[in-house]
Structure 1
Amino acid sequence: MMSNLIDKIGDWNPQLFRELKGRLKFFNVAIAVATSLLLQLVVFLYQLRELPDDRYSLTATYCRLHQVYELQQKQVYQESDQSRIADLNHFFSNNFCPQNEIDWQLWWQNHWEYTFLTFSVIFIFTLLVAGTYLLINDLAKEETRGTLNFIRLSPQSETSILTGKLLGVPSLIYLFILVAVPLHLWAGLSAKIAFNYILSYYAIVAASCIFFYSAALLFGLFSRSFSGFQPWLGSGLLLLFLFITMVVALSDNITLNNSTAWFRLFNPWDVTNYLFPNLFHVYYGSPVTNLQFFYLPLGTSVVSVVGLYLLNFGLCSYGIFQALKRCFRNPQASIISKEQSYFIVAFCQLMMWGFSVQISLNNERWDERLGGSLILLALYNLVLILSLIVVLSPHRQDVQDWARYRHQAVSSRKSAWQDLIKGEKSPALVAIAINLTIVTIPWLVWVSLTSVFDANNGQIWLSNDIDRFKVVLAIALSISLMMIYATIAQLILLLKTPKRYFWTIGTLGTAMFLPPTILQFLDISSSKYPTVWLFSTFPWAAIEYSGVTTIFMALLAELSVLALLNFQLTRRVRLAGESATKALLAGR
């Protein structure tokens, strides 16, 4: 029967057939089933360790008489009568709760709840960590044996191959979990947990598996330099992420009223604790109940919360899957295209700003809270743009091919701009400029519509047009600085030296962090020397202490540097595009 089922699967997805046939051996299946059953028995028996017996205390939780005796004990201790306290202690030590006074229904309900919650945690760790390890390890073995190239040459579609990997490689993990699902479901229903809450948990776990498994495949394709260490590295990073987010979910001072809330949507613990409040015994309630998105109170409904998590996992998994399809056949291709980068940047801005713009639930000023969140937004966008600079900037050979043969495909100025915006091998400066424009639009809207409360001196900033104009100039400074970094990165990638990516990352890192570090080390503060800080990676620190004329002159200086660098880049690209014969005749 199993053989016939696998054969039918092979007709639908040959790659899944290959994975299942290699893993669903009798011995492997028996081990997975036996391990799952043994784990269920251990968890069940472990929860029985506190089964009420003949020596169950009168003041214990499940004794129906405990409230009466606790009240009596409280009165005696308030009277401070030592003789009565001694008599009471003697009574408690020699008398126990009668068996007919034990609330067995409540005890079994809590027992099943503990069992359900224990398996809920085990499912998340087992599926995500073990499944991630198996997927990355499988790709590493395929690469070592050389069979991965044969799979790439297969007539199957990328979707079929990748789906077969996602479903087939962790198949024994799926079997391990499926054997434990009946007990988990029975425990949840016995604990009087709503069936739709349990189904919501299963949906969240399935969506998180698709996301992290897709990310694991992408990591496996681009981590060949780690040799055989990449399975441990990938699964270890995910395990660390799960532990850290579990600690964060246990914290009572972590809220979801800033841009970090989006990153917590990738954490399965918050929504699990929202569905099952006794998971971490957090008595102050889950922060998800106060979750807002552009003032929409999504946390008030289970449907909206689960829908938001599923939508986020679904969209991000789709994006990773598109990157997988793009890079699977050609490992040398960039992870994303220029067109895809525009959608990614727009999506990131939507999510980060959506969770930053919320109604304050306490006495905190909303503009003060938003002002603190803007620092996080600026840092996230800085990392995002720098990552895109490294990913989208093509290497020397690609630029050389584009410069040499573009006249065959480009017949007009309009086509030339389309090639710079969408082309795979053209320099990425125009694409970076478009992404910076997408990032800038929400900032300009914010500057024109709001003000910021400075908690240090109790003053309101951005309350007049001069302050707003200074911020607009600061945004222009940041854009010009990012464009300078992008031009430098493209110039380095046009060199003939080996390991150009490492040189690019090292140069950008030095240009970004060395000047502010030196200024801090020399105790050159932004309040005393604002002009110096205007030319650093963080010009925002000096905006409040600089005049409009000073900021404008700094902007002109950066634009001049950008123009010179682009002139040099244009010259390099033109020289790279010359034919070998023309270069030889010109004496180069």
Structure 2
Amino acid sequence: MMPNLIDKIGDWNPQLLRELKGRLKFFNVAIAFATSLLLQSVVFLYQFREFPGDRYSLTATYCNLRQVYEQQQNRLYQQSNQSLIDEFNNFLSKNFCPQNEINWQLWWRHHWEYIFLSFTVVFGFTLLVAGTYLLINDLAKEETRGTLNFIRLSPQSETSILIGKLLGVPSLIYLTVLVAVPLHLWAGLSAQIAFSYILSYYAILIASCIFFYSAALLFALVSRWVSGFQPWLGSGAVFLFLLITFQITSSDHSGAWYNSTAWLRLFAPWDVTNYLFPNLFHLGNGSNLKNLQFFYLPLGIGFVSIVGFYLLNFGLCSYSILQALKRCFRNPQGSIISKKQSYLLVAFYQLMIWGFALQNGNNNTWDEQVAKNFVLLAVYNLVLILSLIAILSPHRQDVQDWARYRHQGVSNHKSVWQDLIWSEKSPALVAIAINLTIAAIPWLVWFLLTSVVDANNGRTEIVNEIDRFKVLLTIALSINLMMIYATIAQLILLLKTPKRSFWAIGTLGSVIFLPPMILEFIGISSWKYSIIWMFTTFPWTAVENAGATTIFMALLADLSVLALLNFQLTRQVKLAGESATKALLAKR
């Protein structure tokens, strides 16, 4: 029977068979079984330190006489009679709860619940951290030995190879967890936890494993420059993320979900686990996930909507990562995502961060919610656009190939603009502009639909239209600054110098962060010298103290800089394509 099963696995996925044969050795399997059984024994026996023995206190948790003696003790404390109190405490120290008065049913229920919740946390950390480490380490070793290129040349599809890696590399971790699942399931049912809740937890844990494992493989493929340190860096980042979110969940408060960071918390399994099993963190009011909203839609009204949204989020993000994986696996030198995929990514990104920003938390209006999330939304978009600049900007050879390809007339049926929008080898400026437009649309919608009336001492006053115009100018200024950064990055990547990527990252980092740091260090504050801050990465810090004319002049200056940089970029592209592209560029 076993040979037939192995043959079927090999026919379905040869890569999975290769991974399983290399790992499921007798010694490795025995170690996995022994580790799992040992862990189960430790967790099961650890709770027996509180086993109600012959000297169990009359006021302990599981003594049925506890309430009677506690009432008597409180009565004596109210009388403030120290002698009677001492006599009563002496009585309690010499007398213990009879065995027939111990609530054994409740004790065993709590014992099983403790086992269930302990394994719930252990499963999360073990699968996500250890599995991430093994996947990154395996891919790094394959790259070092050169076998990864051999796998790329195999007739298997990218999907088949990646599924084989995801299922086969952490197989010993799966085995260790699966051996403990029967005890975990039995403990949950014995603790009277609904079977549907337990299955929901398993579904979310599997979905989170797919997401983190896919991200681990992608990280291993794109981080070859940190070879040797990849596994520790990747698994360490996952462990730190899980630990931080674990601490946040254990000290959660009512307003913690009413901002855009709620989306980041959805990638950790702790909040939904605490929602399904409220005794996990012993929070008095249970999980605040029940108050979660998405564009004011109450997701927390039932566990079906919460679990469904978690699975949907994991599914969409995992699918996106798998698409990037398929691109990187066959072509390690190519970009992670295409320009078309970047447009979808930015749209999805805006949907999620704005969806969690617009919640009816603490009875705030939507204007107040946007105001509270303003900095978060701006920072998230800044990180996203800078990441897209790094991903989408092609290097010199790609641009050179594109310029010559256009001139040879192979794609005369396409216009230059179509190439700039869709082609992966064309300069990324137009694609970045489209992504910036997509990111700006929610801001413009908010700007147009926001209330123009403010309440003031029972009266209403029309908001100054100049202030609204300033906001619009600031959005345009921010877009223009991002375009300048994208142009600078593209110009550097067109140079003939080695290590152009590091030069681009260093230059952009200096342009973005050094000016505001220097201005703060020498005492030039945004409220006093707003015109200077208009030329930094954070112009919105000076909007309140700047006039509309000041912002407009700063915008004109930035547009002039952008025009000069793009003129230089056009010349560089022309030189990269040499004389073969002169006619094309002249016509453009």
TM-score where L is the length of structure 2: 0.95
Distance (Å, rounded) in 1 between the aligned partners of 2:580 and 2:298 = 64
Q: Which residue of 1 aligns with 2:194?
A: 194
CA RMSD in angstroms, aligned pairs only: 2.0
CA contact (8 A) 1:259 1:352 kept: yes
CA contact (8 A) 1:452 1:462 kept: yes
User: Does 1:244 pair with 2:248?
Assistant: no
CA deviations 1:54-113 (Å, max 9, x no partner) are 110000010011001000000001101122112201110111111111110000000000
Compute the displacement of 1:48 (Å): 1.6
CA deviations 1:238-282 (Å, max 9, x no partner) are 111111111111123461111111111101111111111111112
Distance (Å, rounded) in 2 between the aligned partners of 1:190 and 1:462 = 63
CA contact (8 A) 1:368 1:452 kept: no
Which AA in structure 1 matches 2:189? L
Report runs of 4+ in structure 1 exceeding 4 Å deviation: 451-454, 459-462, 579-582
Distance (Å, rounded) in 1 between the aligned partners of 2:293 and 2:21 = 47
Which AA in structure 1 matches 2:387? S
Compute the displacement of 1:396 (Å): 0.3
CA contact (8 A) 2:404 2:580 kept: no
Distance (Å, rounded) in 2 between the aligned partners of 1:436 and 1:580 = 32
Q: Which residue of 1 aligns with 2:450?
A: 450
Could you list the runs of 5+ residues in structure 1 that have no partner in the other structure?
583-588
Which moved further from structure 2: 550-559 or 128-137?
A: 550-559
Which AA in structure 2 matches 1:321? L
CA contact (8 A) 2:211 2:318 kept: yes
Distance (Å, rounded) in 2 between the aligned partners of 1:2 and 1:460 = 79
Distance (Å, rounded) in 1 between the aligned partners of 2:469 and 2:564 = 27
What are the within-5 Å matches in structure 2 for residues 115-514 of structure 1? Answer: 115-253=115-253, 255-362=256-363, 366-407=366-407, 408-411=409-412, 415-450=415-450, 463-514=463-514
CA deviations 1:181-234 (Å, max 9, x no partner) are 000000000000000000000001000000000001011112222222211111
Distance (Å, rounded) in 1 between the aligned partners of 2:333 and 2:541 = 40
Q: Which residue of 2 aligns with 1:586?
A: none
Distance (Å, rounded) in 2 between the aligned partners of 1:527 and 1:235 = 43
Compute the displacement of 1:460 (Å): 11
Distance (Å, rounded) in 1 between the aligned partners of 2:302 and 2:155 = 46
CA contact (8 A) 1:452 1:460 kept: no
Compute the displacement of 1:293 (Å): 0.2
CA contact (8 A) 2:420 2:426 kept: yes
Distance (Å, rounded) in 1 between the aligned partners of 2:31 and 2:5 = 21
TM-score where L is the length of structure 1: 0.95
Q: Which secondary structure does the structure 2 equivalent of 1:239 belong to?
A: helix
CA deviations 1:499-549 (Å, max 9, x no partner) are 111111111111111111121112212222211111111111222222222
Distance (Å, rounded) in 1 between the aligned partners of 2:201 and 2:43 = 20
Distance (Å, rounded) in 1 between the aligned partners of 2:484 and 2:535 = 12
CA contact (8 A) 1:481 1:558 kept: yes
Distance (Å, rounded) in 1 between the aligned partners of 2:581 and 2:215 = 46
Distance (Å, rounded) in 2 between the aligned partners of 1:34 and 1:460 = 73
CA contact (8 A) 1:57 1:96 kept: yes
CA deviations 1:406-461 (Å, max 9, x no partner) are 1323326x52211111101000000000000000000011112225999xxxx999
CA contact (8 A) 1:462 1:468 kept: no
What are the within-5 Å matches in structure 2 for residues 54-93 of structure 1? Answer: 54-93=54-93
Which moved further from structure 2: 12-21 or 277-286?
A: 277-286
Compute the displacement of 1:581 (Å): 13
Distance (Å, rounded) in 1 between the aligned partners of 2:350 and 2:410 = 34
Distance (Å, rounded) in 2 between the aligned partners of 1:141 and 1:524 = 51
Q: Which secondary structure does the structure 2 equivalent of 1:36 belong to?
A: helix
Change (3 A) 1:352 1:580: closer
Q: Which residue of 1 aligns with 2:586?
A: none
CA contact (8 A) 1:252 1:284 kept: no
Compute the displacement of 1:580 (Å): 9.0
Distance (Å, rounded) in 2 between the aligned partners of 1:35 and 1:512 = 50
Q: Which residue of 2 aligns with 1:22?
A: 22
Percent of matched pairs sharing the same residue: 76
Compute the displacement of 1:2 (Å): 3.0
Which moved further from structure 2: 130-139 or 459-468?
A: 459-468
Q: Which residue of 2 aligns with 1:542?
A: 542
CA contact (8 A) 1:6 1:21 kept: no
Which moved further from structure 2: 97-106 or 367-376?
A: 367-376
Change (3 A) 1:88 1:366: farther
Distance (Å, rounded) in 2 between the aligned partners of 1:386 and 1:480 = 13
Q: Which secondary structure does the structure 2 equivalent of 1:96 belong to?
A: coil
Change (3 A) 1:322 1:427: same
Which AA in structure 1 matches 2:424? E
CA contact (8 A) 1:367 1:452 kept: no
Q: Which residue of 2 aligns with 1:524?
A: 524
Which AA in structure 2 matches 1:234? G
Which AA in structure 1 matches 2:530? P
Distance (Å, rounded) in 1 between the aligned partners of 2:134 and 2:120 = 21
Distance (Å, rounded) in 2 between the aligned partners of 1:305 and 1:168 = 31
Distance (Å, rounded) in 2 between the aligned partners of 1:579 and 1:152 = 37
CA contact (8 A) 1:211 1:313 kept: yes
User: Does 1:11 pair with 2:7?
Assistant: no
Q: Which secondary structure does the structure 1 equivalent of 2:97 belong to?
A: coil
Compute the displacement of 1:303 (Å): 0.5
Q: Which residue of 2 aligns with 1:45?
A: 45
CA contact (8 A) 2:453 2:463 kept: no
